[in-house]
């Protein structure tokens, strides 16, 4: 399989004065193109730190990490910004929509920083909100706002979509809808989706599940279809 991102002996250490905490402790991994990967672990396991490093929002203390053949370790801030702009989409637990922009305008805002954006209205339709294009975030439910946030991330046409507890603030019906959208995006557009969660029931949707605990990868399992 085509490896999209790989890491070798990756550490992330936080200096807390007299104490040092390893959020990641020498992990090795490969993330493949066109896969739906779920990273599962309890709070404080290091999974959010891992996601931030994958997305170029944080850097490892030591070790190597590559996007395709491009080293991200030791990369300049300018190079990491370019990587985030061109290759990465983000979906967070809280939607971070611009309150004074409509759903469609929020999506268009993200498209402006992409070299090969997808159609904004098509993405709204993809998430089942074509009839909410002119609505402001305050006029949308939490589930609808998260779907707009997903459409915004998808519209960048990223190689990899990183999702940090995207269903954490949603009810079960909205959660199922969001997960179906993410799974469909990976399959339809042949993209990589990485989703971190502490919810074990989400793991069944993945192609593979990576289990993280205490900053270490305990195991990686392929999910039977």
Closest CA to 95 of 162, 160, 147: 147
Closest CA to 80 of 65, 94, 97: 65
The pLDDT of residue 36 is 94
Contact call for residues 54 and 29 (beta carbons, < 8 A): no
| Residue carrying the six token digits 């931030």 | 52
Closest CA to 212 of 1, 12, 4, 5: 12
The pLDDT of residue 11 is 96
Tens of pLDDT along the chain (225 residues) come to 799 999 999 999 998 888 888 999 999 999 999 999 999 999 889 999 999 999 999 999 999 999 999 999 999 999 999 999 889 999 888 878 999 999 999 999 888 877 788 899 998 998 889 999 999 999 999 889 988 998 999 899 999 999 998 887 778 888 888 888 888 888 888 899 999 998 888 888 899 999 999 999 999 999 876
The pLDDT of residue 188 is 87
Q: Within 10 Å of residue 99's Cβ, how many Cβ atoms?
A: 8
Q: Tell me which residue range forms the domain holding 159.
A: 3-222
Structural domains of the chain, count: 1
Question: Which CATH number goes with the domain that contains 79?
Answer: 3.40.50.300
Contact call for residues 184 and 143 (beta carbons, < 8 A): no
The pLDDT of residue 225 is 66
The pLDDT of residue 68 is 94
CA atoms of 173 and 25, how far apart (whole Å): 37
CA atoms of 127 and 134, how far apart (whole Å): 15
């Amino acid at each position: 399989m085509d490896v999209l991102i790989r890491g070798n002996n990756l550490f992330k250490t936080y200096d807390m004065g007299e104490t040092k905490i390893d959020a990641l402790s020498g992990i090795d991994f490969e993330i493949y193109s066109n896969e739906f990967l779920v990273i599962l672990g309890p709070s404080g396991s290091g999974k959010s730190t891992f996601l931030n490093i994958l997305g170029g929002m944080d850097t490892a203390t030591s070790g190597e990490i590559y996007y395709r053949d491009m080293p991200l370790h030791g990369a300049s801030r300018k190079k990491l910004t370019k990587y985030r702009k061109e290759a990465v989409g983000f979906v967070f637990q809280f939607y971070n929509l611009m309150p004074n922009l409509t759903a469609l305008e929020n999506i268009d805002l993200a498209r402006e920083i992409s070299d090969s954006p997808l159609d904004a209205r098509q993405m709204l339709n993809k998430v089942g909100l074509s009839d909410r294009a002119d609505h402001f975030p305050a006029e949308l439910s939490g589930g609808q706002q998260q779907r707009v946030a997903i459409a915004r991330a998808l519209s960048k046409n990223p190689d990899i979509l990183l999702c940090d507890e995207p269903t954490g603030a949603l009810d079960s019906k909205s959660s199922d809808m969001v997960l179906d959208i993410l799974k469909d995006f990976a399959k339809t557009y042949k993209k990589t989706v990485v989703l971190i969660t502490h919810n074990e029931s989400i793991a069944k949707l993945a192609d593979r599940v990576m289990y993280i605990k205490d900053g270490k990868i305990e195991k990686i399992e392929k999910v039977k279809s």
